[in-house]
């Protein structure tokens, strides 16, 4: 048995006060394979990996690595034993160099001094072997999110890992970068490295997996060879029911012009002369390759980034969103791409995170009304179907999808007219995605306008009325989502490159 599996997690149970997060879960990983771990947000995937990595202690069960029983007390022990993890949320020291981030906590030394020359050479050697074209000496904060993701993968490899856990590794990658990542995985598989791969992108799962384990509500549901499962059968086991349509039908049509943007440019040379209209009840997508300045357009509209030229009109009246506070007063809301970095207060409660944006609504005679806050939060948690023991639960303890629902609920409590949504379903399972799509349709029916940035082209085609394409900081066209093809969008994305 020891030769058949490099890693065995047998009958794993993990309980927290008031909830059993894992209930008798078993996971067996073969050497030199990709074993995908699937399930809805809250199914227990991350909790299972935290048990493996020594972040959580087991309530019951056993773990074996290469036939030997193990029990890591912390992540450092896991890394010492060649078990690495690439987290979905990037935790890097942005004002330090790339190579310092790779070797953090284990710098090569020459006497009592750090050997920067060896650190550079060792980093360059790993990057070259993986085909990563990044200067190890530049600051991590100067990199794009996709390059930072690649650095984390290189860091995992640097531990000479036998098992690498990857949690949504392609969430910030372009199609070419995904291809590159899969080439790295195939190379390492030939060297007998095993992968536990967590993703909600079904096309990727079918493409990269050797084996698939499906979890639901903290329980093991099935483990099968990837070749024997279809996308529909995977989704059915994940959600416990058939999900016939990936995208709910939008029954309302856009109305009058809500937002008019004329020749908008950012103050720094990021993008220029973006020109579009957003109608009431419309979902306008923004597509483009990484670096096309999609996010920068949203940040400028929300006052995070300084506007250069151009004008913005809301309901026919010219407005200037010079700061996010002014943007909120003008009826704008923005869901950011990196929720852990700039979207949540991870150590504080759901209630705090949901009410922090609009505290004035809960004031009575200068003091905050706890009862009013409790009622609003409770109602919004039901509306958003947030899975959590209570509103007092720390948001950092929730799954990524439930965190996203809390943040979206926070903005809905401000009753905005225009919602700017940057990768709103990033790292969210198919069931939760469907719920968010339904909510977006409901908001459209109320006359709200939405601008959605997404790297998933099928998503934009499935939920949007029109799609604006950005190419290298310039607008390359606006298309009817029901008529345009993926090929046409890709051609427009490369127009100014």
Predicted confidence pLDDT, tens digits, the chain (497 residues): 346 899 999 999 998 876 788 999 999 999 999 999 998 777 888 889 999 999 999 999 999 999 999 999 999 999 999 999 988 767 788 899 999 999 998 999 999 999 999 999 999 999 999 889 999 999 998 988 778 888 988 998 899 899 999 988 887 677 788 888 899 999 999 999 999 999 878 888 989 999 999 998 899 999 999 999 988 888 888 877 665 677 888 988 999 999 999 999 998 878 999 999 999 999 999 999 877 999 999 999 999 999 999 999 999 999 999 999 999 999 999 998 877 667 788 888 999 999 888 777 777 667 777 888 888 899 889 888 888 888 999 988 887 778 888 888 888 888 899 999 998 887 777 777 888 899 899 999 999 999 999 988 889 999 999 999 999 999 999 999 999 998 899 889 988 87
C-alpha dihedral, 466 to 178 to 420 to 441, nearest 10°: 60
pLDDT at 1: 37
Q: How far apart are the first and last CA of the chain?
A: 53
Cα 302 from Cα 317, distance rounded (Å):
16
Angle, alpha carbons 102-104-105 (nearest 5°): 145
Eight-state DSSP code of residue 54? T
Q: In terms of domains, do 282 and 345 share one?
A: yes
Closest of 437, 440, 454, 370 to residue 411, by C-alpha: 440
Report yes or no on 249 lying in a domain.
no
Cα 475 from Cα 493, distance rounded (Å):
9
Report yes or no on 100 lying in a domain.
yes
Cα 261 from Cα 310, distance rounded (Å):
8
Report yes or no on 250 lying in a domain.
no
Q: In terms of domains, do 264 and 224 share one?
A: no
CA R_g for the chain: 23
Q: In terms of domains, do 467 and 323 share one?
A: yes
Tokens coding 480: 């009817």
Q: In terms of domains, do 47 and 150 share one?
A: yes
Q: In terms of domains, do 191 and 277 share one?
A: no
Report yes or no on 246 lying in a domain.
no
Q: In terms of domains, do 195 and 298 share one?
A: no
Q: In terms of domains, do 94 and 156 share one?
A: yes
pLDDT at 51: 94
Q: In terms of domains, do 370 and 431 share one?
A: yes
Helix (H) or strand (E) holding 127, with range, is helix 116-130
User: In which residue are the tokens 């890693």 written?
Assistant: 7
Report yes or no on 245 lying in a domain.
no
Cα 7 from Cα 57, distance rounded (Å):
17
Q: Cβ(37)–Cβ(48) under 8 Å?
A: yes
Closest of 389, 40, 72 to residue 219, by C-alpha: 40
Q: Which of 239, 269, 285 is the last residue in one of the domains?
A: 239
Cα 395 from Cα 353, distance rounded (Å):
7
CATH (domain of 34): 3.40.50.300
Check the CA dihedral 196-200-206-211 and report its sign: positive
Angle, alpha carbons 274-276-279 (nearest 5°): 150
Report yes or no on 320 lying in a domain.
yes
Q: In terms of domains, do 116 and 213 share one?
A: yes
Domain hosting residue 275, numbered range: 257-493
Cα 384 from Cα 380, distance rounded (Å):
6
The helix/strand/coil state of 307 is strand
Report yes or no on 432 lying in a domain.
yes
Instruction: Report how many domains make up the chain.
Output: 2
Tokens coding 160: 């000479």
Q: In terms of domains, do 16 and 106 share one?
A: yes
pLDDT at 53: 92
Angle, alpha carbons 408-413-418 (nearest 5°): 70
Neighbouring-strand partners of residue 80: none
Strands of 201-360, DSSP E: 211-216, 219-225, 257-264, 274-279, 283-287, 311-314, 317-319, 332-335
Q: In terms of domains, do 162 and 87 share one?
A: yes
Closest of 396, 400, 401, 446 to residue 419, by C-alpha: 446
Cα 378 from Cα 385, distance rounded (Å):
10
Tokens coding 487: 């090929």
Report yes or no on 105 lying in a domain.
yes
Q: In terms of domains, do 225 and 261 share one?
A: no
């Amino acid at each position: 048995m020891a030769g058949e599996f490099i890693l065995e997690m047998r009958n794993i149970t993990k309980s927290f006060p008031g909830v059993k997060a894992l209930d008798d879960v078993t996971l067996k990983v073969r050497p030199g394979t990709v074993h995908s771990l699937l399930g809805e947000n809250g199914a227990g995937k991350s909790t299972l990996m935290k048990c493996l990595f020594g972040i959580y202690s087991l309530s019951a069960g056993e773990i074996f690595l290469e036939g030997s029983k193990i029990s890591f007390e912390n992540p450092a022990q896991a890394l010492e034993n060649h078990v690495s993890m690439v987290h979905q949320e990037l935790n890097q020291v942005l004002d330090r160099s790339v190579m310092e981030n790779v070797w953090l906590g284990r710098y090569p030394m020459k006497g009592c001094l750090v050997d920067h020359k060896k650190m550079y050479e060792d980093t360059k050697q790993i990057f070259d072997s993986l085909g990563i074209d990044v200067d190890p000496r530049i600051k991590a904060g100067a990199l794009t999110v996709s390059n930072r993701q690649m650095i984390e993968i290189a860091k995992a490899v640097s531990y000479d890992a036998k098992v690498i856990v990857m949690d949504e590794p392609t969430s910030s990658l372009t199609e070419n970068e995904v291809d590159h990542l899969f080439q790295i995985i195939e190379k390492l598989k030939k060297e007998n490295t095993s992968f536990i791969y967590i993703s909600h992108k079904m096309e990727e799962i079918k493409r990269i997996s050797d084996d698939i384990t499906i979890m639901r509500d903290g329980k093991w549901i099935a483990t099968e060879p990837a070749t024997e499962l279809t996308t529909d059968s995977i989704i059915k086991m994940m959600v416990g029911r058939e999900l016939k349509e990936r995208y709910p039908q939008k029954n309302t049509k856009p109305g009058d012009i809500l937002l008019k943007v004329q020749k908008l440019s950012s103050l720094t040379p990021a993008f220029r002369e973006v020109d579009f209209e957003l109608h009431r009840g419309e979902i306008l997508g923004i597509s483009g390759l990484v670096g096309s300045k999609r996010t920068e357009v949203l940040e400028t509209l929300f006052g995070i980034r300084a506007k250069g030229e151009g004008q913005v009109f809301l309901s026919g009246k010219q407005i200037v969103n010079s700061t996010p506070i002014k943007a909120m007063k003008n009826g704008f809301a923005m869901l950011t791409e990196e929720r852990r970095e700039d979207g949540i207060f991870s150590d504080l409660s759901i209630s705090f995170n949901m009410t922090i944006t609009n505290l004035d609504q809960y004031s009575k005679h200068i003091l905050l009304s706890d009862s009013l806050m409790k009622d609003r939060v409770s109602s919004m948690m039901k509306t958003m179907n947030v899975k959590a023991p209570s509103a007092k639960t720390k948001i950092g303890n929730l799954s990524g999808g439930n965190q996203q629902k809390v943040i979206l609920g926070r903005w809905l409590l401000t009753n905005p007219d225009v919602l700017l949504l940057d990768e709103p379903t990033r790292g969210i399972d198919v069931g939760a995605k469907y719920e968010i799509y339904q909510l977006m349709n409901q908001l459209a029916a109320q006359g709200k306008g939405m601008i959605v940035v997404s790297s998933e082209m099928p998503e934009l085609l499935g939920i949007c009325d029109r799609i604006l394409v950005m190419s290298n900081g310039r607008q390359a066209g606006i298309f009817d989502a029901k008529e345009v093809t993926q090929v046409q969008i890709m051609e427009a994305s490369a127009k100014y490159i």
